[in-house]
Amino acid sequence: MPWRPHREGRATWPVVLRESFHEPTIVLRPLRSSDEQEWQRLRQANATHVQPWEPTLPPGADPSGPVSFRQFVRDLDHEARADRALPWCIDVGGHIVGQVHVFGIVRAAQQSGAVGYWLDAAHTGRGIATRSLALAIDHALGPAGLHRIEVNIRGDNLRSLAVVERLGLRDEGVRERFLHIDGQWRDHRTFAVTSDELAERGTLTARLSRS
Q: What is the mean pLDDT of the chain?
A: 94
Examine the pLDDT at 136 and tell me if it is beyond 90. yes
Q: What is the model's pLDDT at position 9?
A: 64
- State how far Cα 126 lies from the chain centre: 17
Residue 116 near residue 98 (C-beta atoms within 8 A): no
- CA–CA gap between residue 203 and residue 126 (Å, rounded): 20
Q: What is the model's pLDDT at position 64?
A: 78
Domains of the chain: 17-209 (3.40.630.30)
pLDDT (average), residues 168-176? 98
Q: What is the model's pLDDT at position 151?
A: 99
pLDDT digits (tens, 9 = 90+) for 66-123: 889 999 999 999 999 999 999 999 999 999 999 999 999 999 999 999 999 999 999 9
pTM of the model: 0.94
Q: What is the model's pLDDT at position 2?
A: 46
- Could you write out the DSSP letters of every residue in 121-185? GGGTTSSHHHHHHHHHHHHHHTTT--SEEEEEEETT-HHHHHHHHHHT-EEEEEEEEEEEETTEE
- Return the closest-CA partner of residue 31 out of 80, 82, 83, 93: 80
pLDDT (average), residues 137-147? 98
Cis preceding linkage at 24, omega within 30: yes
Q: What is the model's pLDDT at position 60?
A: 83
- Return the closest-CA partner of residue 93 out of 167, 20, 199, 183: 20
